[in-house]
Structure 1
């Protein structure tokens, strides 16, 4: 791959990003398609400063947004597309002519994967572990794109979790229950759902031996989705 003054660049912004496979995936695709683009990983703590800098760089093209910036990035953008605005979280930023526009593809991607995987959604309750940006997107996708009987959200961050629950109730009307992500709550809820979606960083590389859910809570008819993709097969799965 030749990088020149004309090369446009993309990247992923988050904290941490050391686990991300996005640079390898995107750069392989760019090279295969003959595109003069490069994709980098940026560990970002000062989010506002980073986005201000991106806006000023003429050869910046677009960025993936990951933990913990999917919600926090929105106030720094010039525009947010309607779906992402409704959800209250983004995972993609397009940079064009000094303007930054946010999108959310987490929602549609997760819903498509669940349906293609045969998850029983209509008329059933779904359990989501986590309450961050990805959990928010998936919860909204399920609440508006299926006939769920209800959602249960278990998360560690109480204020974040309760804000998500309030937004879901106000915007979708789907019955939502919530509580802390503890062993007792898992024992209470896992037996009563047909689909469990894990949306926390637990089990992500390099801490690959961790899992939120004890193995003895699983049963054959339970569908499990883990949004952690490095390693490819997590301890949870």
Structure 2
């Protein structure tokens, strides 16, 4: 923990609890990020990860009220399932149809989404601008929806969205409809089974974003793009997965000599900073946390 402060020195009867509810979630770096920030700023909060799936979600959300928690982050598979359990939705979360942050104001729970802005801010941090460009994205779950809609809102000119014909297919169609009706971006939906289309759309894309869970446990040896020739040097390849640090997709992109290859750490940091502000009213010490998160010293940051 930052500044070598003992847990017993900072947890007392006034400590305010914030959660993270998802499954699986023990790999998450969010507790490290938020608790280190609390210590750095002298804030009396504690952030804990809870393995909560769809079945446990209703009781877990009620616990936010019952325990007087300040709020919680929400991740897969709960980002859409949580919406009917909340009292209010931020306008952006309503458009996206997914929530990754809950704020509790005296028992009134409001849902927000910070994933999309976190994604765009992470590119900005790397001095990369995708406005006016073409984007290919796979996945139409909570994170994928937020990224796609935010990118279109912020000026991506063309978007090719790929998804398998699973439970999220209807959501993928909804995303494309929202983008085409509410932004200047032209979005098209493709079945991920159409590999010829996937290869073709990647060929002239400035950025490819994988917003699926492929690449993280238990699929850490999998990737949606296994052929390096599908990528070109001048593009950005962005995997929203950050554990493992180097995913199978990233390895393929590196083999292709792609200039800009990223995991989801930057997005995680920036979406976390937005949530931090919503809960505490304070700015997360982003530069300080970035040094810890991107450190190669395993004693400083634990997965």
Do Structure 1 and Structure 2 share a fold, with TM-score over 0.5?
A: yes
Return the offset for 1:93. 0.7
Residues in 2 aligned to 1:160 and 1:85: alpha-carbon distance in whole angstroms:
13
Paired with 1:105 and 1:137, the residues of 2 have a C-alpha distance of: 8
Deviations 1:177-208 (A, max 9, x none): 11122333322221121111110111124543
2:116·2:150 contact (CA, 8 Å) conserved in 1?
A: yes
The aligned counterpart of 1:53 is 63
Partner of 1:161: 172
Match of 1:197 in 2: 209
For residues 164 and 233 of structure 1, what CA distance do their matches in structure 2 show? 29
Find the aligned partners of 1:216 and 1:205 in 2 and give their Cα distance: 26
**Structure 1, residues 150-180: CA drift from partner, whole Å, max 9, x if none?**
1111012322322222232333353111112
Residue correspondences, number? 235
Displacement of 1:99 after TM fit?
1.3
Partner of 1:124: 133
Q: CA deviation at 1:145?
A: 1.1
Q: How far did residue 34 of structure 1 move?
A: 2.9
2:152 is the counterpart of 1:139: no
Higher helix share: 2
Please say if residues 157 and 184 of structure 2, whose CA atoms lie closer than 8 Å, have aligned partners that are also in contact: no
Distance 1:227 1:166, change over 3 A: same
Q: What is the root-mean-square deviation in Å for CA atoms of aligned residues?
A: 2.0
The answer to whether 1:223 aligns with 2:236 is yes
- Displacement of 1:49 after TM fit? 2.4
TM-superposed CA distance for 1:27, in Å, is: 2.0
CA contact (8 A) 1:186 1:213 kept: no
* Structure 2 CA distance for aligned equivalents of residues 6 and 143 of structure 1: 43
Paired residues for 1:70-219 under 5 Å? 70-119=79-128, 121-146=130-155, 148-156=156-164, 157=166, 158-172=169-183, 174-182=185-193, 183-205=195-217, 207-214=219-226, 215-219=228-232
Distance of aligned partners of 1:120 and 1:72 in 2 relative to their CA distance in 1, 3 Å threshold = same
* 3-state DSSP of counterpart to 2:243: coil
Residues 25-55 of structure 1, C-alpha deviations (whole Å, 9 max, x = no match): 2222223333322211112223222212212
Structure (1 or 2) with the greater strand fraction:
1
- Partner of 2:162, secondary structure, is strand
CA deviation after TM superposition for structure 1 residue 212, in Å: 1.5
TM-score, structure 1 normalization = 0.89
**8 Å contact kept, 1:19–1:205:** no
Q: Which runs of 5+ in 2 are unaligned?
A: 1-6, 251-303
Structure 1: 5+ residue stretches without partners: none
**How big is the shift at 1:125?**
1.6
**Cα distance in 2 for residues equivalent to 1:212 and 1:154:** 11
* Matched-pair contact (CA < 8 Å) for 2:160–2:188: yes
